A and B are shown apart, each in its own frame.
Chain A
Amino acid sequence: MKIRANYVSNSSSASFLLDLATKKYFTLTAKTQSNIIFYIPYKEYSRFRGEAELENIEYLVGRENDSNTSEWLTLSRSSSNIFVSLYFQLSSQSEINYNLLGKSMWIIQVRINLSPNYYIKFRSKKNIFITTPFKADEDFYPYFKIINADAGGQIEASGNIGTLFDMDDGSGNSNNSYYTRCFYKLFKDCKGLISAPELPAITAEDSCCESMFEGCESLINVPDLSLTSLAPSCCFRMFAGCKSLINAPKLPKNVLADSCYKEMFSGCILLENTPELPATTLTSNCYESMFASCTSLSGISGISGIMLNSAVLSPSCCFKMFTECTSLKNAPNLPINVLVDSCYKEMFSYCTLLENRPELPATNLALNCYEGMFMGCSSLTNGGNLPAQILIQNCYKNMFKGCTSLSSLSVEFNTWAINGRFSGTESDYRETAVYWLNDIEIAGEFRCPEDLPVTKRNANSKKLEYN
């Protein structure tokens, strides 16, 4: 059953869906003795007004598999339980007045000590919620910290995080949406976090989940994203450094925004497969470094969108998308014929097991389109054919640099100096014509048109050889 909860503040109102069966609480459950601090900033930058409003939050304590629970209680300084102790304090002995750009800021610490198998549920009453400072500033945002994680503290988060947080940024425009930076770094570096709460919103705003679970090295279970619209940087580094994550969550199907998934799974060293990414209209930097350093990644069939002729690229859309994916052996076909600036720049750089490069049939190139695309791919042997006859500045810069096993390549252009682009400075020439097949020492074959001027690199001289 779902109800629509509403609250009215001044002239604005906000609402969101609550599923009474499963989504009306936000729950922290301790798997081991866990000491947690929930930091909440307030004043000036926030519509949250501190201690007084904190009392609008209710909590309930219980033990797993035990039907006996406490009553819903109001959060207060004296909240406590024999197995769960709760208290909050200001950042130090007294209120610290953070002076930031002439604004004042205070931080409440809600300290939560959970015995093993005990849980605490939170909900808001009167539909008043904790509000992230919506005048975004990196220094002030609510976040959790498991202070004994290195000593074994482990918790599971479950339920609807939205029941604790205000879904409105004060503009009154957000229904079922996460507003700008609302969960920014919420669980960042919670090394003892095993499970993530549900994220049921359908509309994202800028950076709403940026770095939300970054550095959660024990995180195994993550929720699917129910979003139907994305916003710039909405999932930027959301799961970066989640070293235990094996399976990626389901992502929205067909919508993208600039940098929406940038570095989203960067450093997830156990991630084995990409999620489904069927979108065919790509946005700027949308997949930038999305799977960077995912050293177990070998299954990439889910990225079907960019494998279609109908895909539309944007600048830097796949920049470093799979860089340092050292288990990746086969690359997907990239059939797009019209490229855009830096679209595939360093896309597979340092994929040291990559044996087969994708089909690259494009004959209409763009600035830096293939720059460093296979740089450091030390298992790549066949460079295939590059069918373009007209080159664009830096299109092949460092493309095969350090491909120490490369032994064949075919091209169909007959000059670097198209329209004077490479007839300028020595630097222009060096960056393009010289540094594209460098650091390759084994024997190989280079196939090219009859009239293309070609020289072999002189190992004993750094002198440029012009042709």
Chain B
Amino acid sequence: MQIPRNWNIIRSTDDVLTFTALEANSYVTFMANDKSQIKGYFKSNLQYRTKNTQWQRVDIIGQKINLSKVNDFIKFKTEINPSNDPLSFTNEQFEDWRIHFELGGKIKASRKHSIFI
């Protein structure tokens, strides 16, 4: 497959955060504080997919995603549209606003570039 000769190729792994199960029955839960601005932001901008699904833009906050088999995965990414910059947490006044992942089992996290900064 060909693209214009003056184009750069950017592999999607550069912009995707992947959690891969290293053992069966692992799980990932994406959590965010109950701040409407954060939740609203991720609801509209964060996309995810698992091994058997396509990218979808659904509110996943608080949902436990089971990775039942070895090598099952969940990937997260934000919109690529430059107008939708990924959320950053650089201002101290937002110190109570945070996101985190709850992980269970044995999981490998991989990313080449942050989707959040």
Contact = CB atoms under 8 A, between A and B. Distances in A.
Interface of A: 363, 382, 384-385, 387, 389, 407-408, 410, 412, 416, 433-434, 437-438, 440-450, 452-459, 465, 467
**Is chain B's interface secondary structure helix, strand, loop, or mixed overall?**
mixed
A449 B10 contact: no
B9 A446 contact: yes
Contacts of A382: 81
Interface in B2-24: 2-13, 15
Contact of A412 (B5, B9, B12): B12
B80 interface: yes
B2 to A, nearest CB: 5
Contact of A447 (B2, B12, B55): B12
B54 A457 contact: no
Contact of B55 (A387, A437, A443, A450): A387
B7 A443 contact: yes
27 contacts: A385-B80, A387-B54, A410-B80, A433-B2, A437-B2, A437-B4, A441-B6, A442-B4, A443-B7, A443-B8, A444-B7, A447-B10, A447-B15, A447-B80, A448-B10, A449-B12, A450-B11, A450-B12, A450-B13, A452-B1, A453-B1, A454-B2, A455-B2, A456-B7, A458-B5, A465-B2, A467-B1
Q: State the main secondary structure of chain A at its contact with B.
A: loop
Among B1, B7, B11, B12, the one with the most A-chain Cβ atoms within 10 Å of its Cβ is B1
Interface residues of B, number: 18
Nearest to A453: B1
Contacts of B54: 363, 387, 389, 412
A68 B77 CA distance: 79
Nearest to B6: A443
A407 B3 CA distance: 11
A443 to B, nearest CB: 5
Interface string B15-56: 100000000000000000000000000000000000000110
Contacts of A363: 54
Contact of A457 (B5, B55, B80): B5
Given A447-B10, A450-B11, A450-B12, A416 B1 contact: yes
Q: Which 3 A-B pairs have the closest CB atoms?
A: A440-B4, A433-B1, A444-B7
